[in-house]
Amino acid sequence: MKRLWLILSFIILIQPDNFISIDKERINWFNSLAEGTFIEGENTRIIKKKENENVTIQSFGPEYITIWEYDKTGRMISIGCGTTVREFKLIPKVDVIEQ
């Protein structure tokens, strides 16, 4: 049982340093986001900042859509993804005439 408490204490002592660096990197990334529409080939990314300081990132491709929402601290609060609906063109049926 003593070993378990020692291991838990050790993990708690080491863990805060890792979280601080991850938080700083996330906040730097979040603050570097520029609002606008970015097109890369067939892919489009739209970044919008809301009044409540949340940020949404919409990513569109030829066959998919993904929407992320981040709060003002840069933490992801929601994500949605799916496939886009393709438009099918109907091909007229051709009658086969037997001879």
Angle at 66 between CA 58 and CA 33, to 5 degrees: 35
Angle at 81 between CA 63 and CA 57, to 5 degrees: 100
| Amino acid in the structure at residue 97 | I
pLDDT (tens digit per residue) in 4-60: 766 766 566 555 555 555 677 777 888 888 899 998 888 899 999 988 888 999 998
pLDDT (tens digit per residue) in 53-86: 889 999 988 888 899 999 888 888 898 888 877 6
Give the pLDDT of residue 15: 54
Give the pLDDT of residue 14: 58
Which residues make Cβ contacts (< 8 Å) with residue 81, sequence separation at least 6?
64, 65, 66, 67
CA-to-CA distance for 67 and 37, rounded, in angstroms? 14
Give the pLDDT of residue 57: 92
- Report the pLDDT averaged over residues 77-99: 72
**Using 50, 70 and 90 to split pLDDT, how confident is the model at 2?**
low
Give the pLDDT of residue 41: 86
Q: In the chain, where are the structural domains located?
A: 1-32, 34-85
